[in-house]
Chains A and B, each alone.
Chain A
């Protein structure tokens, strides 16, 4: 069954603006991760946030986690054309060997 659901499915903004993507999940988690996928390529890990963390930063990325609402958000600040890609959240349970991926948000940055 699908665990992570991203919102919106597609997002198009102008270069320099901030992009926010959301992810909701259904069951208890140990960690939540965000990945990026350029068209026709493999996924690249961006950031991991643990269930006992509320916010994490990495460069222009900011991730928040609200375990009470079972949701997370990924903020990309000062977007660039090169940020155009699909972004996926993935959840891992305690002791779980596997991740469950959402359907992704397709982000387009217009120059």
Chain B
């Protein structure tokens, strides 16, 4: 089965600092990969998804960017964090077109001060 790794678990960053969150996948090849953000007590907002290396689809205009340098690696970045970037960031993967189910990582709680 597929396993999603995310780190760090928590992160506190000052406004204006850069951000890099990494997500790696085990147990499958050529997965679809997703970055979500979740506000406290709310649902998931899809930020980016990728169907392959170098292929990124952005769902909402924002201060963040994503990259997929390798098949099983998905990175969420920002050059300058805003207070509004605080939230719980979740990476998810879907093992190709044979399954609709998504597997989630443990998440990163980002606080921007």
Contacts and interface: CB of A to CB of B under 8 A. Distances in A.
Interface stretch (B11-19, B39-47, B64-72, B73-81): B39-47
Interface in A11-30: 30
B103 interface: yes
Interface string B40-59: 01111010010100000101
A99 B90 contact: no
Contacts of A40: 88, 107, 109
Looking at chain B's contact residues, the main secondary structure is strand
B101 A41 contact: no
B102 interface: yes
A31 B100 contact: yes
Interface stretch (A54-62, A65-73, A74-82, A102-110): A102-110
What size tier do the contact residues of chain A reach? 20 to 34
Contact of B43 (A44, A88, A97): A88
B7 to A, nearest CB: 13
Contacts of A44: 104
20 contacts: A40-B88, A40-B109, A42-B106, A43-B92, A43-B102, A88-B43, A90-B102, A97-B32, A97-B49, A97-B51, A98-B49, A98-B59, A99-B46, A100-B46, A101-B36, A101-B46, A102-B43, A103-B42, A103-B43, A104-B42
Given A45-B103, A98-B34, 19 more contacts: A2-B43, A33-B100, A33-B101, A40-B88, A40-B107, A41-B107, A42-B90, A43-B44, A43-B90, A43-B104, A45-B101, A45-B102, A48-B100, A88-B44, A92-B100, A97-B32, A97-B49, A100-B46, A103-B43
